Amino acid sequence: MILKSKDLLGLKEVTAEEIEYILNTAKTMKLIVTSKNKKAPHLQGKSIITLFYENSTRTRLSFELASKYMSASAANVSASSSSVAKGESLIDTGKTIDMMGSDVVIIRHPMSGAPHLLAKNIEASVINAGDGMNEHPTQALLDMFTIIEKKGSLKGLKVAIIGDVYHSRVARSNIWGMTKLGAEICVAGPSTLLPPEIEKTGVKAFNTVQEALIDADVVMGLRIQLERQKKGLFPSIREYSRFFGLDEKRLKLAKDDALIMHPGPVNRGVELSSCVVDSEKSLINEQVQNGVAVRMALLYLLTRRDSVENIN
């Protein structure tokens, strides 16, 4: 099997089989991440560029380490220190990187659709590391990997996604991906932070956190950004936390063995109480570790498309 597209722009565009293929490959990659000698030859001779127009710690580092663990040449371009700051267009920047021989360009951008524009205009594979409010597919892949590792499968699981769904690319990618693998998704958040007609995507939407939590197998908190308050989307962090914060008491509504997740970075005491973050049910640290494995799998599968195509 090979991935159909040269790029991974979102989980909206890929099939359930492709998702499972990536996640299965990640199992092997996790052995490398957790071993003492973190060096594998899979990406030898390949050039991987991260092009980040937004700040990031874990996603960027995770891609960089994934590249290096598999022996690729890796380099970073960040918007603030490059000709991007001089007003160069995305396509021009992309073509420049392309001509230097990159095989994969990993892009994070504040505007939805930027990776799609890049992918159309360059030869290299493009991986979306988060675009505006659209998608963050590798985050959703690592979330699914983490759940499957604990529960065996997503089929029939009830996943509650709580918080600012409107602005969340993580929520969107998880909705597309997990729905394809058979999970049932409930979202809850302040009504000003739920996207219009979200139920048409096949999820159930609630305005109370309690309704969404009942019998949940997985509970995912989303990061709330403080600047949303200034835009009048909710009155205060205090009120948000009072009605939508996840604490131990509320989590009793979920199943006893429910998993707690968060894409990070967590605002402790806002989306999740500190107790919940540090509890045994919390998978926040595993998510980070699995992130490297999933990104290794993806880089490997995208860069091997050419050779597989040639054999076939």
Cα 251–Cα 293–Cα 142 angle in degrees, nearest 5? 35
Residue placing its CB nearer to another protein in the complex, 152 or 196? 196
- Contact between 87 and another protein by CB under 8 A: the answer reads no
- Residue 305 is a binding residue for another protein (CB under 8 A): no
Give the count of beta carbons closer than 10 Å to the beta carbon of residue 126: 26
In the complex with another protein, the residue whose CB is nearer, 134 or 303, is 134
Q: Is 54 in the site for another protein (CB under 8 A)?
A: no
Question: Measured over all CA atoms, what is the biggest interatomic distance in the chain, rounded to whole angstroms?
Answer: 59
Between CA 294 and CA 138 the distance in angstroms is: 7
**Based on the number of CB atoms within 10 Å of its own CB, is 266 exposed (0-12), middle (13-18) or buried (19 or more)?**
middle
Alpha helix positions (H), 6-48:
16-33
Q: Is 95 exposed, middle or buried (0-12, 13-18, 19+ CB in 10 A)?
A: middle
Toward another protein, which CB reaches closer, 90 or 294?
A: 90
- The answer to whether residue 262 forms part of the interface with another protein (CB under 8 A) is no
When binding is defined by CB under 8 A, the residue of 36, 37, 81, 200 that contacts another protein is 200
Answer yes or no whether residue 46 interacts with another protein by CB under 8 A. no
Report the nearest approach of another protein to the CB of residue 256 (Å): 34
Q: Which lies closer to another protein via its Cβ, residue 117 or residue 162?
A: 117
Q: Quick check: 197 binds another protein (CB under 8 A)?
A: yes
Q: Residue 287 and residue 31: Cα distance in Å, rounded?
A: 15
Dist CA 187 CA 164 (whole Å): 10
Provide the token pair at 130: 């988060």
Least CB distance to another protein at residue 308 (A): 27
Examine residue 117 and tell whether it contacts another protein (CB under 8 A): yes
Q: How far is the CB of 204 from another protein (least distance, A)?
A: 15
List the alpha helices (DSSP H) in the chain.
16-33, 58-69, 90-99, 114-121, 137-151, 169-180, 209-213, 227-230, 237-244, 248-251, 274-278, 284-303, 305-311
Q: Is 280 in the site for another protein (CB under 8 A)?
A: no
Binding status of residue 133 toward another protein by CB under 8 A: yes
Q: What residues pair up with 236 in beta bridges, in sequence order?
A: none
Establish if 196 lies at the interface with another protein (CB under 8 A): yes
Query: How many residues belong to the site for another protein (CB under 8 A)?
Result: 24
Dist CA 163 CA 291 (whole Å)? 22
Does 195 bind another protein (CB under 8 A)? Our answer is yes
Q: Is 112 in the site for another protein (CB under 8 A)?
A: yes
Q: Is 22 in the site for another protein (CB under 8 A)?
A: no
Q: Is 113 in the site for another protein (CB under 8 A)?
A: yes
Which member of 29, 114, 127, 141 binds another protein (CB under 8 A)?
114
Nearer to another protein by Cβ, of 199 and 306: the residue is 199
111 binds another protein (CB under 8 A): yes
Residues that bind another protein (CB under 8 A): 12, 89-91, 109, 111-114, 116-117, 131-135, 169, 172, 195-198, 200-201
